[in-house]
Amino acid sequence: MAVTTGTILGVNGNMVSVQVSGNVALNEVGYILLEDQRLKSEVIRITGDMVEMQVFEMTRGIGIGDRVEFSGELLAVELGPGLLSQIYDGLQNPLPELASQCGFFLQRGIYLNALDRTTKWEFTPAVSIGDVVSSADTLGTVPEGIFSHRIMVPFNFKGRFTVVSLASKGDYTVDTKIAELKDENGSIHEVTMMFEWPVKRAISNYEERLRPDEQMVTKVRIIDTFLPVALGGTYCIPGPFGAGKTVLQQVTSRNAEVDIVIVAACGERAGEVVETLKEFPELIDPRTGRTLMERTVIICNTSSMPVAAREASVYTAVTIAEYYRQMGLNILLLADSTSRWAQAMREMSGRLEEIPGEEAFPAYLESVIASFYERAGLVRLKDGSKGSVTIGGTVSPAGGNFEEPVTQATLKVVGAFHGLSRDRANARKYPSIHPLDSWSKYGGLIDPQLTQYARDVLFRGNEIDQMMKVVGEEGTGLDDYTVYQKSEFLDRVYLQQDSFDPVDASVGVERQRHVFNLIFDILAAQYNFASQREAREFFNKLRQNFLDYNGSEWKSDEFERLENEIKQMVAEKKNGIDPGAKKLMAVNA
């Protein structure tokens, strides 16, 4: 097939206008040919024989008249064993290899294989010669870290195929032929352990999408108890700069009960990304005791890399996530920050001179954000097993203003909103998720009526706090003052969680349920305090005991002892139960 070529007629930032000599497709990859470099670019608009392309590299030195060669292929990633534990840039170049080839300053125009061609993987066939298969069926498996990686019929194979040859059990590289499949017309197709897939097309080789009804446990109390996320669901973490978005995502990536975590570090400051890269490989997976990297993929673009590559990075990340979902695994994709991605869109849209929407973001911002989050989901695969992709994205709105377009567009499509609060971060109340402004549409591990009761205490406590600022403690009744103390207590010992304490950092489901019940009893109790001072002293002491309790190993002697102490303290001062709470307890008993 003749290669389509073109000539550059204009350069505008990292966008070039190209006159083409043949057919090109939207999202097709082309290379700008410089003397000694080929710069990867993607077609983003076609008007007659003129196309606009975004260049994934610095555009220095590109001039009018330069040639472009089109690839006939859409922007795609390589899928196969060996993705796990990799650190890629947005175009799936392995960054460590790139760095070792180029030195500290990454050189443009160098594209490396995403999957190493020398590593051998131990293939075990799962079908036999003569079997009939179709796309996404498993031909065999290879062990990859702790997983059994399915070697599948490439997802773009249409129709039914007969297996006419198959590699026997043994060690092969990803580009070795492992099977020949005959289609219905008798043509033979060779299959290796890897194939490519266009990043902007969702992988949908599953039987059906299911309602995400199972919780994705993060072991962060405020999330799991009050603002749950479902496996296959979506959530967003908007927050001003420095509020704790990145730390929260790191904590989640370490502790969430999922198989694989994909981190798309997108456009944040280079220093921050370097930190992630340094820190991650050293983290130990609490589940396996091995390095966390074994079940992690990092896609990384810093703010100093060209904007177009940022855009690619979120798609690269979600495509890899969907690929592993086809193996019946649960994948968590964390994108930090989607604002940087949206800014890249805004920049390109400006260059294209499109009619701008709000704050100069493109008018299609909402639909692009929606179609990204739609790639999350819980699915039933053809073999009956289930897999999920959960997406959590941070948003970093300028000045922390959640009314801006990216936050608003994201809120329309996600299932949970974990809004970080500047005030809480300033007060070092971590994780700084705002307990009252945030919400979730998913079911969690506690009956929602009980959590609502606790939220009401927070809500009222907050109101009383505001009032006390005006009238002072003296002007506040003892009942109100007690509610305020209860809400402070709940905040301090349950909503706040110490990410650096070995025990408190991650709290499992069983413990959360157990501790929440104890907290509920404390919130629901009526106390015979004689004065505000007595109430304050009681809750101060209780809080201290509770923090020690939070730091003790689950079900250890220390844990039991502190729990008994807490219960006894409460029993001594308790003289009744709030009737509203009593009803809820009866229903839940």
- To the question of whether residue 243 is assigned a binding role by annotation, the answer is yes
Residue 430 or residue 546: which is nearer to ligand ADP going by CB? Answer: 430
Work out whether the CA dihedral 135, 136, 137, 139 comes out positive or negative: positive
Residue 272 or residue 456: which is nearer to ligand ADP going by CB? Answer: 272
- Cβ-based neighbour number of residue 467 at 10 Å: 14
Tell me which residue of 167, 128, 225 sits closest to 438, measured CA to CA. 225
Residue 60 or residue 428: which is nearer to ligand ADP going by CB? Answer: 428
User: Helix %, strand %, coil % for the chain, to 5?
Assistant: 35, 25, 40
Query: If you write DSSP's letter for every residue of 48-104 in order, what string do you get?
Result: TTEEEEEESS--TT--TT-EEEEEEEESEEEESTT-TT-EE-TT--BHHHHHHHH-S
Shortest CB 273 distance to Mg ion, Å: 9
Site string for ligand ADP, 487-526 (x = CB under 6 A): ------------x---------------------------
- To the question of whether residue 241 is assigned a binding role by annotation, the answer is yes
Residues 288-307 that bind Mg ion (CB under 5 A): none
Residue 234 or residue 246: which is nearer to ligand ADP going by CB? Answer: 246
Shortest CB 540 distance to ligand ADP, Å: 23
The Cα–Cα gap between 43 and 71 comes to 11
- Given a contact cutoff of 8 angstroms between Cβ atoms, the answer to whether 389 and 328 are in contact is no
- The reply to whether 340 sits near ligand ADP by the rule CB under 6 A is no
Shortest CB 244 distance to ligand ADP, Å: 3
Residue 431: which of Mg ion, ligand ADP, none does it interact with, CB under 5 to 8 A by kind?
A: ligand ADP
Q: What per-residue string of b and e applies to 403-435 under the rule 16 or more CB within 10 Å gives b?
A: ebbbbbbbbebbbbbbbbbbebbeeebbbbbbb
Structure tokens at 475: 């002007």
The Cα–Cα gap between 8 and 52 comes to 10
- To the question of whether residue 288 is assigned a binding role by annotation, the answer is no
Residue 499: which of Mg ion, ligand ADP, none does it interact with, CB under 5 to 8 A by kind?
A: ligand ADP
Shortest CB 15 distance to Mg ion, Å: 28
- To the question of whether residue 239 is assigned a binding role by annotation, the answer is yes
- The reply to whether 430 sits near ligand ADP by the rule CB under 6 A is yes
Which residues on adjacent β-strands are paired with residue 386? 380
- Our separate counts of H helices and E strands in the chain read 15, 28
Q: Which of 17, 59, 215, 246 binds Mg ion (CB under 5 A)?
A: 246
Residues 226-265 that bind ligand ADP (CB under 6 A): 239, 241-247
Shortest CB 241 distance to ligand ADP, Å: 5
Number of residues counted as binding ligand ADP (CB under 6 A): 11
Residue 241: which of ligand ADP, Mg ion, none does it interact with, CB under 5 to 8 A by kind?
A: ligand ADP
The Cα–Cα gap between 45 and 26 comes to 7
- To the question of whether residue 508 is assigned a binding role by annotation, the answer is no
- To the question of whether residue 246 is assigned a binding role by annotation, the answer is yes
Structure tokens at 88: 């890629």
Residue 80 or residue 419: which is nearer to ligand ADP going by CB? Answer: 419
Residues near Mg ion (CB under 5 A): 245-246
Residues near ligand ADP (CB under 6 A): 239, 241-247, 430-431, 499
Query: What residues form the annotated binding site for ATP?
Result: 239-246
